[in-house]
Chain A
């Protein structure tokens, strides 16, 4: 059972550079959400994509942008990197019209994240 796959696992970038993170959702899921998790903190919602459009956005600047492809995979792009962008970036997939009766099938499936370090 293919869960959520994120790449790369780790990444080191220099301030001012641009980065692209990738996410393949769980098989059968059509919605992808991105979260930023600073060290020792809870994840913060960045944005969500469904039907190749951004549906919701959290309190993140325009330097953070995304894309969803026809196969439901997604990319997160961050421009002009700042030291404060260093974090674990989590991708979560879900099914908009999915089952709500099974705990294991319900809700969001998370990937293991990409650890981004900005130096």
Chain B
């Protein structure tokens, strides 16, 4: 069975600084997707970034980038130039490369951004 682990329950960062959130996963499959979702107090899950396992190049979306280490089964999220609006719960998630694949989430990391 696939599992996703986030070992940092809470993180904090100073506004405009950079922070990295960690995620490891376990799977026996070779083709899958990895995601980072943001959940603000409004509760809605917002997709931040995704990575296809077959791609060696790390995904980037504006201030958000990932460090995808397939052999180590590691998938960290780097947030550059942190903003107050980045404060939220962040979830790492895994999905098989299937059109109806379910998402498997980690336990989440609460990110605090200090002004």
Contacts and interface: CB of A to CB of B under 8 A. Distances in A.
Contacts of B29: none
Given A42-B91, A113-B44, A33 B50 contact: no
Interface string B1-45: 000101000000000000000000000000001010100001111
Interface residues of B, number: 26
Given A88-B43, A90-B45, A113-B43, A106 B100 contact: no
- Interface size grouping (class) on chain A: 20 to 34
A107 B108 contact: no
Contact of B100 (A56, A112, A113): A56
A41 B107 contact: yes
A31 interface: yes
Interface of B: 4, 6, 33, 35, 37, 42-47, 49-50, 61, 91, 93, 95, 99-100, 102-108
